[in-house]
Amino acid sequence: MFYISAYMERNRSQYYERLLAISRDNDWNRWIDFFLQAIIEQSEENSRKAVSILELYKEMKSTVPEMISTKYSIQVVDGLFSKPIFKSTDIIILTGRNKMAARRILNPLIENGILKTVQEAKGRRPAVYAFSRLLEITEKV
């Protein structure tokens, strides 16, 4: 996502200074310069994130099928990238398989550090997992 607010937050004092200069001195040029710099820097950051996500996707497309020998391995990879925090029941829905088959998919991913358990299953409540490497890329400020 493209959030200009991350740049504004990192440069808060300059942000307020430029806004004040508009009302105080009618200095629109410095505000425009500041805002354009924000767009440039945020765009560069987003480009780096996009490249990192693509590299991670390529890596997962080659390593996950080695971990889980199922015809659903690429579907699982795509699922991780479309929903990096998910319930164990989402794997059942994604693959159309039963609970045991979902376990055979999830266990190797957990054991190999691809998935982290966010919340253990309890009673009828399914476990919640996170694809932390993708989250680290997307949440990095």
- Say what the pLDDT of residue 1 is: 57
**For the chain, what are the domain ranges?**
4-139
What CATH number should be reported for the domain whose range is 4-139?
1.10.10.10
pLDDT tens per residue, range 67-104:
998 899 999 999 999 999 999 999 999 999 889 999 99
pLDDT (average), residues 40-65: 95
- Say what the pLDDT of residue 35 is: 95
- Say what the pLDDT of residue 79 is: 96
Tokens of 5: 């607010």
Whole-prediction pTM value? 0.82
Three-state secondary structure of 49-89: HHHHHHHHHHHHHHHHHHHCCCCCHHHHHHHHHHCCEEEHH
- Say what the pLDDT of residue 68 is: 93
pLDDT band at 4 (very low <50, low <70, confident <90, very high): confident
